[in-house]
Amino acid sequence: MDKVNIEEKLSQFNDYWQPKIIGELNGQYVKLAKLKGEFVWHQHEKEDEMFMVIKGRLLIKLRDHDVILNPGEFFIIPRGVEHIPIADEEVQVMLFEPKSVINTGNIQDERTLDAIEFL
């Protein structure tokens, strides 16, 4: 039962595309991640996923349009919707999603990583 300072948590890691769990509530995780480069097209069959940008500029490509997120903006990707996050420069994001989410969704490749507890 401690408060969490987002900037402080972000200062404690530097790897990309490796979600860090910083909170848990009602079967959901709050996560932080640093993103750089292009991820992989994927979808989450049963989970909606929220991306909130803390720092940087994130492009989320969907099959039919693009979403550009700046700091203080969020986007909810509905379950079943294919997407790919792209970060030309480093982006810092906060994620809200069910505990069951796997970062690469329906795709299994070298980028598939379990989220790490970072409480």
Stretch that binds a copy of itself, among 33-41, 65-73, 84-92, 108-116 (CB under 8 A): 65-73
Pairing of strands 83-98, 49-55: antiparallel
Residue identified by tokens 């906060």 is: 94
Q: Does 15 participate in binding a copy of itself (rule CB under 8 A)?
A: no
Is the CB of residue 105 less than 8 Å from the CB of residue 43? yes
Of 21, 50, 84, 86, the one binding a copy of itself by CB under 8 A: 50
Beta bridge partners of 30: 23, 96
Pairing of strands 116-117, 20-25: parallel
Q: How near is the Cβ of 99 to a copy of itself at its closest, in Å?
A: 10
Q: Does 48 participate in binding a copy of itself (rule CB under 8 A)?
A: yes
Please report, as ranges, the residues that interact with a copy of itself according to CB under 8 A.
1-7, 23-26, 28, 30, 47-50, 62, 67-69, 72-76, 78, 81, 96-98
